Amino acid sequence: MKIPQKGFTLVELVVVIVILGILAAAAVPRFVNLTTNATTAAANGMIGAMVSAVALCQASYFAAGNTAATACTMVGATPTTTSGATGGVPVATTAGIGAALGSFNGWTQVLGVFTLTSASACSVTYVAGATPTSSGC
């Protein structure tokens, strides 16, 4: 009487392992690329937040009507700004753009340079009156 086979043969197991290895080799580069995309998206999000904060601060500054003031009034903060006809732009300090942003979790700020905590090579530089730029992202 013939006993039925139980389990898998060695050849079947090797074939499955080889197939899994090929799939893993194809998937790893895609996950690495996702990390790069996420870092770039975080930098673009910070740039967008800065541009919006500057626009809101300038709107508040000019709505107040005092072009000699050195601050704008925002909900929860009073960022330090430039003054004059081109005023209302937060300066590149914690009291300026840092206060205008309100919260920048996941980023550290030294003057006008914001560095992504999870990717220290990725930073966004803010200069009052100029469009923020990113590097290393």
Does residue 77 sit within a domain?
A: yes
The chain-wide mean pLDDT, for the chain, equals 88
Residue 92 pLDDT more than 70?
yes
Does residue 5 sit within a domain?
A: no
**Total domains, the chain:** 1
Tell me the average pLDDT across 73-85.
86
Does residue 92 sit within a domain?
A: yes
Does residue 2 sit within a domain?
A: no
Does residue 3 sit within a domain?
A: no
Tell me the average pLDDT across 16-36.
85
Residue 40 to residue 46: CA distance in whole angstroms: 10
Three-state DSSP class for 110?
A: strand
Tell me the average pLDDT across 102-130.
90
Lowest-confidence segment of 74-88, 97-111, 117-131 by average pLDDT: 74-88
Does residue 70 sit within a domain?
A: yes
In which band, very low, low, confident or very high, does the pLDDT at 57 lie, cut at 50, 70 and 90?
very high
What is the domain range of residue 113?
10-135
Does residue 37 sit within a domain?
A: yes
Residue 66 to residue 23: CA distance in whole angstroms: 64
Does residue 1 sit within a domain?
A: no
What integer pLDDT is reported at residue 1 of this predicted model? 66
CA neighbor of 102 nearest in space, from 65, 137, 59, 50: 50
